[in-house]
Copies of this chain bind each other. A is one copy, B any other.
């Protein structure tokens, strides 16, 4: 089959702004707002809050009834106008889903005010953690722009874990007359909601809405007077502002039919005000809606920012799933624990007050991260891939357990996690949290090695909750278990935390050496036998997918053992590695790429045999990220990833026949998990083989870039993001086995690959070697101690590099610059003060050594000038 590339090199390398979305592209957009481990609510492309996933589980497709924002404006001497602050509803208008007196055949959902006048259009821009909607409505005398975000600050997981959605409405009077306006937000009190299903029902009753004002923060506080604080459904929700001039109504009219919205809208649209109404706890089976209006008068040309926030506090997490496979959970189903965030704040008002008290700093720090990331010279779709998938950390895919442990599902079913247990093989691909919130990532390692490891070294690959539950009885995952060793190595290099490594080492060693029990008893460095893996089946026989994870783990083990003085282990790992490398090359390299050695006649179903597997050298990808060098012959590796691209990339899917799950189709681009360019496709190849997975695409894209096949890698990344264009799919939801799929956190490796980022904090080393536009480069970097930007310019035989720390600090002995060319002399200065530096050549660049070390703190810049 002829494969065209789909994109030109120029298209791939052009720098510009990330995409914006309009018209039909607004349809699928849902941009998560919330904190790490707090759940989230999402901002739709039209400007609506949707998918209320704050109730300790996913909850796709939900809308909190009547919870919308309206704007009333009256130009001096003119008639008032009122609008729901959303773009118009988009077709289809038949109604969605089923149910009685709703769904298909009942028209557009009405409870969210769809039948009220809307703004005429919107342009959505999403640069996580910020979303911005520029609304359009030529009939209004004011411009309306919404800036929405939740704090997200690298190395600050707790303040990136505030259960709040902040909405900042920018309003500018573009007319020549003063304009009086009211921006009114509504909130339905959902407390009692069981986390899934309709918001209206018998779980409601004695819901209490109250208007509160402590002088600084004011708004509508929602709780329940019926539920005890330890009830799983207990909690609070608050709609607040710090704006001083407000109008409010804690409770809408309680009445039948459509009266309540009639009463609200007719009054508000006419007067721009709300009548205070406080009715006490609601009747059984019902709840109340409250509204908070912010009033302002704008002179011609004047702009104001009206701040609103929805904050929540649903402290009690109830385990709603049974133990995976292994029968009942040790602690019984339905166990309840406290969310970590519940230890930080008392209720939703406390959350809001904390936020507003620190709002300036939280906004500035989040903006600093955003700006550091987006000021890069990376192509826009790469920035988009990095940033958009970081939103998974604000999605219900991740939890923070009571002790703060970071926990991840693989992704999200519509109303439950999917699948449980920080699954080691899926989270093998994930890189974002390791680089942005290394302490969280280390807590995941801690949990893995504390709770998943058995006495014989076999690891459960799904962590059972609550922590301490009995382990799941199932195969070990060959990829997950070996990947764990590489992840420990990465997390140690990023943090420089030797004590942490020492604490884990005996367990890591045991887990690594379990390979010799299960998969490689002859210690020839090659796994054989049953190798359960991330395709949910078992490969048998030697293959380089498991093989490179194993080789990588042996090399990482060697490095860690040596550092810790365990020379015997280091030597044995190395020897095993050498044997394995040789055998894999000998037996699995077919002259173009690496195959699986398997007798399809006798093997179980679901092998790949002679296929060209996209994950065939995945361990090598990870080894590149952590700077371990080549696990296999470099030329063969480079050839293999080129072959993956050549055979598995599809510039369209018109002729692709896929009876499996469908993640790319029609005119889309994507990378298949496998193909059989030389024949030999098994009658039933491994399940998923004909699919396209974003996480694997990022892995391969990144690896191609590491190998210097930059355009090929970029092409794949661009293809992924083109499939998530707002009309086809939500740009902030790359799914696989469910939404916000953790494997897509592999996207962060595009940054490490393109910037050639090296990190070795135990040795005080950091390095960059941009693989694209090295003559004028800027990018974001982060480690366990600080984060900032790196830039370099080359001109006229000179080169200049700036390492800027935005937050935290970085202590260096060596700075490696890989793509600045050769140099004969170097100067260095920290915030303008000259520093002693020595120059050592490295392949393709230089190493700058600071004999006395240098610590760069927040706001400081280390500047290096090189000359030929």
Which A residues are closer than 8 A to B by beta carbons? Answer: 27-28, 60-61, 82, 88-89, 91-95, 97-101, 103-110, 113-118, 120, 139, 255, 257-259, 261-262, 265-266, 269, 411-416, 418, 605-606, 654-663, 665-666, 683-684, 687, 690, 723, 727-730, 733, 735, 737-741
Name A110's contact: one of B61, B98, B660, B683 (CB within 8 Å): B660
Contact (A735, B114) CB under 8 Å given A99-B413, A413-B100:
no
CB–CB A662/B114 < 8 A: yes
Question: Taking CB as reference atom, which chain B residue is nearest A108?
Answer: B662
Name A107's contact: one of B27, B663, B690 (CB within 8 Å): B663
CB neighbours of A89 from chain B (8 A): 662, 665-666
CB–CB A110/B414 < 8 A: no
CB–CB A106/B657 < 8 A: no
CB–CB A117/B656 < 8 A: yes
CB–CB B257/A115 < 8 A: no
CB–CB A258/B687 < 8 A: yes
CB–CB A413/B654 < 8 A: no
Closest 10 CB pairs of A and B: A105-B739, A261-B659, A115-B658, A98-B414, A105-B735, A115-B662, A108-B662, A91-B728, A105-B738, A257-B687
Contact (A105, B728) CB under 8 Å given A27-B92, A100-B416:
no
CB neighbours of A730 from chain B (8 A): 94
Question: Taking CB as reference atom, which chain B residue is nearest A729?
Answer: B94
Roughly how many angstroms separate A663 CA and B727 CA in the complex, as a whole number? 23
CB neighbours of A94 from chain B (8 A): 28, 728-730, 733, 735
Roughly how many angstroms separate A113 CA and B659 CA in the complex, as a whole number? 7
CB–CB B60/A110 < 8 A: no
Roughly how many angstroms separate A91 CA and B690 CA in the complex, as a whole number? 20
Give chain B nearest CB distance to A184 CB in angstroms.
14
CB–CB B99/A660 < 8 A: no
Give chain B nearest CB distance to A503 CB in angstroms.
37
Question: Taking CB as reference atom, which chain B residue is nearest A688?
Answer: B258
CB neighbours of A98 from chain B (8 A): 60-61, 413-415
CB–CB B735/A95 < 8 A: yes
CB–CB A657/B265 < 8 A: yes
CB–CB A662/B93 < 8 A: yes
Give chain B nearest CB distance to A109 CB in angstroms.
8
CB–CB B106/A735 < 8 A: yes
Roughly how many angstroms separate A117 CA and B255 CA in the complex, as a whole number? 54
CB–CB A117/B655 < 8 A: yes
CB–CB B735/A411 < 8 A: no
Give chain B nearest CB distance to A560 CB in angstroms.
37
CB neighbours of A110 from chain B (8 A): 658-662
CB–CB B28/A101 < 8 A: no
Give chain B nearest CB distance to A741 CB in angstroms.
8
Contact (A413, B101) CB under 8 Å given A115-B665, A661-B106, A662-B107:
yes
Give chain B nearest CB distance to A275 CB in angstroms.
14
Roughly how many angstroms separate A279 CA and B836 CA in the complex, as a whole number? 82
Roughly how many angstroms separate A91 CA and B662 CA in the complex, as a whole number? 13
CB neighbours of A101 from chain B (8 A): 413, 418, 737
CB neighbours of A656 from chain B (8 A): 115, 117
Contact (A93, B665) CB under 8 Å given A105-B411, A107-B735:
yes
CB neighbours of A99 from chain B (8 A): 413-414
